[in-house]
Amino acid sequence: MKLFTIEEIKKLDQQNAITEIIKIKKKLLDLRVKQSTRQPIKSHLFKLYKKQIAQILTLKHNN
């Protein structure tokens, strides 16, 4: 997954930010399902997805 830079997040309007958060949360859910069914996963993605959600929410809340 491509990481967003701070500039890219700042350029997102409110609707696009919500859409991106929903996409990331779906990926996080899929990752949790894979983990619970003992399929191979890349565990570092949990931290990455959570961090991206937090960055988007923080920057959009401050603006």
Mind listing the pLDDT tens digit for each residue in 20-55? 999 999 999 999 999 999 999 999 999 999 999 999
| Domain assignment of residue 57, yes or no | yes
Domain that holds residue 16: 6-62
Two structure tokens written together for 7: 């500039």
| Domain assignment of residue 27, yes or no | yes
Overall number of domains in the chain: 1
Q: What is the mean pLDDT of residues 7-20?
A: 92
Q: What is the mean pLDDT of residues 5-26?
A: 93
**pLDDT the model gives residue 63:** 72
| Domain assignment of residue 1, yes or no | no
The model's pTM is 0.86
Residue 49's H or E segment, with its range, is helix 44-62
| Domain assignment of residue 45, yes or no | yes
**pLDDT the model gives residue 54:** 96
- Distance set, CA 29 to CA 5, 12, 15 (Å): 23, 23, 21
Q: What is the mean pLDDT of residues 13-19?
A: 94
Integer Cα distance of 49 and 55 in angstroms: 10
